[in-house]
Amino acid sequence: MSKKTVIYIVIFLFVTFSGCINDIDSKSGTLQPRPRNVILFIGDGMGVPHLYAGMTKNGQPFNLEKFPYSGLCKTYSADNYITDSGAGGTAIASGQKTNNGIIGVKPDGTQVSSITEVAHKNGMATGVVSTSTITHATPASFVAHNAGRDNYEEIASDFLKGTIDIFIGGGEDHFRNRKDGLDLTVNLKEQGFDVVYNMEDLKKSQSSRLAGLLAKEHMQKASEGRQGMLSEMTKKAIETLGKNKNGFVLVVEASMIDWGSHENNLDYIVEEVIDMDQAIGTALEFAKQDGKTLVVVTADHETGGLVLTGGDINNRQVEAKFAGKDHSAVMVPVFSFGPWAERFSGIHDNTFFFNEFVRALRLKTE
């Protein structure tokens, strides 16, 4: 065999077998590396002004500024130009638009599978992390199916279905201080979950299935003692889920950007945005070392109609006005890092995320 023939065979084998982890990009014809893991951040209610206010006040560049790709996302729901977090979360989680107020179910009542459920079926590890109760609309969209987003106790029961390996947030009361008198933590323990109620025990846990119920209802605000915890929760989730050889899908929500915006409270917004960026830094550090992790950051919708009307970049000052106290219809930002990240640039619908994650991770949906 000539040297040339050997080289051709080597190239042929590389192209053939790298197909297991790579994909030929149809446009450029080049090899497209695939991620093994996906980490998705959702800043609830986070528009571009929220981010920029946080960046200005932070005084040093955000971790988010290291992301090489950015884009925009349309957020309208099936029944409203302005989405709520139920329909917004469901679209991101499942690639299906639904009506406001609903999670994980189409308007006609049909259940839709979320990316974490599909990933679980494909042998991947899955997790959700949130600063609100873990049963709240955004995290619940990845785990539960309910025509009413406020049915927290029913939603908590869906965490027993086995599709989620790790969940960390608030919401202890929805699991064991319930109207029906049930204590779902008993069932969780039977399923091999380590159930913990504080940060210290969370960090110590060695279990591959982990329920961190760190508050009875929602967690505290960042400014009231929670600062840095979302980053720690994210770190623990990554460490634990990362042990699965088939990879993982982790969803991290910064819930309270939305609440600060409903209150038209710029300081509250800024503190929550800065806290989210710290958690993003933790994920980014892992993704850089790992090399096989796609990190995507987006929002479910904008809240408050926030406009930055003035400020001073050198003195870290921002002046702002709000158009209202509710959600708005504007497109929200998308940032991406890692293998497959370039696909998220441009303008997409919020149903895009699910479909693109399925493609990137080569998941079987049936």
- Residues annotated as catalytic are 85
Contact between 300 and Zn ion per CB under 5 A: no
With CB under 5 A as the contact rule, which of the stretches 25-33, 39-47, 97-105, 290-298 interacts with Mg ion?
39-47
Residue 138 binds which entry of Mg ion, Zn ion, none, CB below 5-8 Å type-dependent: Mg ion
Query: For the chain, percent helix, then strand, then coil, each to nearest 5?
Result: 40, 25, 40
Closest CA to 299 of 69, 95, 40, 43: 43
With CB under 5 A as the contact rule, which of the stretches 10-18, 78-86, 310-318, 320-328 interacts with Mg ion?
78-86
Residue 117 binds which entry of Mg ion, Zn ion, none, CB below 5-8 Å type-dependent: none
Residue 255 binds which entry of Zn ion, Mg ion, none, CB below 5-8 Å type-dependent: Mg ion
C-alpha to C-alpha distance for 351 and 53, rounded to whole angstroms: 28
With CB under 5 A as the contact rule, which of the stretches 59-67, 233-241, 252-260, 341-349 interacts with Zn ion?
252-260
Q: Which of 36, 43, 44, 240 binds Mg ion (CB under 5 A)?
A: 44
Q: Which helix (H) or strand (E) holds 229?
A: helix 229-241
Nearer to Zn ion, 80 or 122 (CB): 80
Nearer to Mg ion, 240 or 255 (CB): 255
Q: Which of 37, 77, 85, 157 binds Mg ion (CB under 5 A)?
A: 85
C-alpha to C-alpha distance for 170 and 347, rounded to whole angstroms: 33
C-alpha to C-alpha distance for 339 and 22, rounded to whole angstroms: 10
Contact between 84 and Mg ion per CB under 5 A: no
- Cβ distance 175 to 128 under 8 Å? no
- Cβ distance 112 to 104 under 8 Å? yes
Q: Which of 117, 158, 258, 356 binds Zn ion (CB under 5 A)?
A: 258
C-alpha to C-alpha distance for 236 and 245, rounded to whole angstroms: 17
What DSSP state is assigned to residue 117?
A: H
Contact between 255 and Mg ion per CB under 5 A: yes
Phi, psi of 206 (to 5 degrees): -110, 5
Nearer to Mg ion, 85 or 336 (CB): 85
Residues 209-248, one symbol each (x = binds Zn ion by CB under 5 A, - = not), give ----------------------------------------
**Helix, strand, or coil (residue 183):** coil
Nearer to Zn ion, 101 or 247 (CB): 101
Give me the least distance between CB of 120 and Mg ion, in Å please: 22
C-alpha to C-alpha distance for 332 and 347, rounded to whole angstroms: 10
C-alpha to C-alpha distance for 362 and 366, rounded to whole angstroms: 12
The contact set with Mg ion (CB under 5 A) reads 44, 85, 138, 255
